[in-house]
Amino acid sequence: MWDRTERALGGRDRRSGRMSAGATGRLLAIGMLLVALAACTKAPGSSSTHTVTITASGAASGSSSASASASPSPSPTQPATPMTKFSGTCYSLLTLYDVQRTAGYPIGGKTAFVVGVPDKTLGRLTYLNCRYGLPATPPGGSATPQIEISVALYGTAADAAKRAASTVSDYVANGATPAQVTIADNPGTILVGGTGAGYSVPLLVASSGQRTVAVSLNKGGLSSTRRTQILSDLGALALTNTAS
């Protein structure tokens, strides 16, 4: 290539064998041009490296998109297969520690836990009744716990929904005012202001698949917003911890 460039520029001075001044100048100009071209050839290299980095990031994003578009996992409050029983009792599924942490305050008094028997007339397979913060009572007396959580398991989702609706209707018939809430992506109802024995304590009722949950909160000095938050959080805890 160098020979071709030399001939095109006029070659050497045939009389002296030396290059003419014009040819020398032209060769210097070509040399500078080649240096510039050589320098320019490095730019695509750095640009290519940058492109690879962008492509790698794009591939990672693509992987994330692919993962996001995959089939969603079952909701943490909704078991993947039909349930026939609970995997534990109040002692293991709804511990006093978890309830206190969720409520946001310490709970004094005693606890009392019950595992219920099936009831074919309601389509109920079993239930858990968990009472926290029971005050001391004389023998034979009764007491209202600070927090009571009942979770019932039914043979079908329809039976569960029917039972939840029946509880809401019963409280409304006894003067309670209903307010709709969302409990771990499930619709629920908070009932306050009922009259008569068993209806005056604020209650949350919700159903999720085969299960119903009812949470009562017997604690004074709470704003309606705080009360709603505690009831909703406890309901979500109950649904999540009894889902498997």
Give the contacts of 78 (CB within 8 A, at least 6 positions apart).
Answer: 208, 209, 243
Task: Judge whether residue 38 has pLDDT over 80.
Answer: no
Least confident range of 20-24, 133-137, 196-200, 204-208: 20-24
Asked whether the whole model's pTM tops 0.85, one would answer no
Arithmetic mean of pLDDT over the chain: 77
- The Cα angle at residue 98 between residues 94 and 102, in degrees rounded to 5: 115
- Crossing angle, helix 42-69 and helix 21-40, to 10 degrees? 20
pLDDT bracket for residue 5 (50, 70, 90) = very low
Rounded Cα distance, 219 and 99, in Å:
14
Residue-level pLDDT at 138: 80
Rounded Cα distance, 91 and 74, in Å:
25
Least confident range of 9-23, 137-151, 211-225: 9-23
Task: Judge whether residue 51 has pLDDT over 60.
Answer: no
- Helix, strand or coil for residue 146? coil
Q: Which domains are assigned to the chain?
A: 2-69 (no CATH), 90-241 (3.40.1000)
| Tokens standing for residue 242 | 């009894």
Residue-level pLDDT at 30: 44
- 204-208 average pLDDT score: 97
> Which ranges in the chain belong to alpha helices (H)?
2-8, 21-40, 42-69, 90-93, 96-103, 157-173, 224-241
Tens of pLDDT, residues 60-78: 333 333 333 333 344 555 6
Residue scoring higher pLDDT (8 or 177): 177
Residue-level pLDDT at 81: 84
Give the contacts of 22 (CB within 8 A, at least 6 positions apart).
Answer: 10
pLDDT bracket for residue 229 (50, 70, 90) = very high
- 189-200 average pLDDT score: 95
Residue 115: exposed, middle, or buried by beta-carbon count in 10 A (0-12, 13-18, 19+)? middle
Beta pairing partners, 168: none
> Which ranges in 104-181 belong to alpha helices (H)?
157-173
Task: Judge whether residue 50 has pLDDT over 60.
Answer: no
Least confident range of 45-59, 149-163, 181-195: 45-59
Least confident range of 8-22, 77-91, 218-232: 8-22
Strand duo 177-183 + 147-154: pairing: unpaired
Per this entry, what is the length of the chain? 244
